[in-house]
A = this chain, B = another copy of it.
Amino acid sequence: MDQQDEIAVVERRLREGGHRWTQQRRRIAEVVFATHEHFNAEELLALCRKVDRRVSRATVYRMIAAMEAVGVVEGLDTGDGSRRFEHVLGHEHHDHMICRSCGRIVEFSDAKLERQKAEIAHRMGFTMLRHELKLVVECNDLACPGRAPVGKRR
């Protein structure tokens, strides 16, 4: 699935949800699916503004909420004070390791882990909507460039 298709999916899902497809929303979707970073609202706003001055902060926040609601974007709490997001179309679910030494966000996925999570929710009588696993780690020398901590930690 390439970027055009992904944006088409976003459009379709929003329309199906009774929403309108505006120029701003398309712009935001384009930027979201063009990046592979974990961005927060402010960063997304800045990226959108670079290509289209008409995108406002409020619209970015509203669009993020809308995309989350239709499941094309997921948020994660990295502990830096803002929520960060990533698009989730076209790749299987993955989890995150957040390195306290260098601030990197490392993605990983593990089939066994996924099975275990689903099984636990089911065993306890719940329907799992989504799940978020965060490992806060410290990198060892080989794995890490040894950069200074990034951003404020709390």
Name A residues whose Cβ lies closer than 8 Å to a Cβ of B: 65, 77, 97, 99-100, 106, 108, 110, 112-113, 116-117, 120-121, 124-140, 142-143, 154
Q: A97-B124, A110-B116, A126-B99 are in contact. Are A133 and B132 (CB under 8 A)?
A: yes
18 contacts between A and B (CB under 8 A): A65-B154, A97-B126, A99-B126, A106-B126, A108-B124, A112-B116, A113-B113, A113-B120, A117-B133, A125-B140, A126-B138, A126-B140, A127-B137, A127-B138, A129-B138, A131-B135, A132-B132, A132-B134
Task: Given contact pairs A117-B133, A125-B140, enumerate 20 new A-B contacts (beta carbons under 8 Å).
Answer: A97-B121, A106-B126, A110-B120, A113-B120, A117-B135, A126-B135, A126-B137, A126-B139, A126-B140, A126-B143, A127-B138, A127-B139, A128-B135, A129-B137, A130-B136, A131-B134, A131-B135, A131-B136, A132-B136, A133-B133
A137 touches B121 (CB 8 A): yes
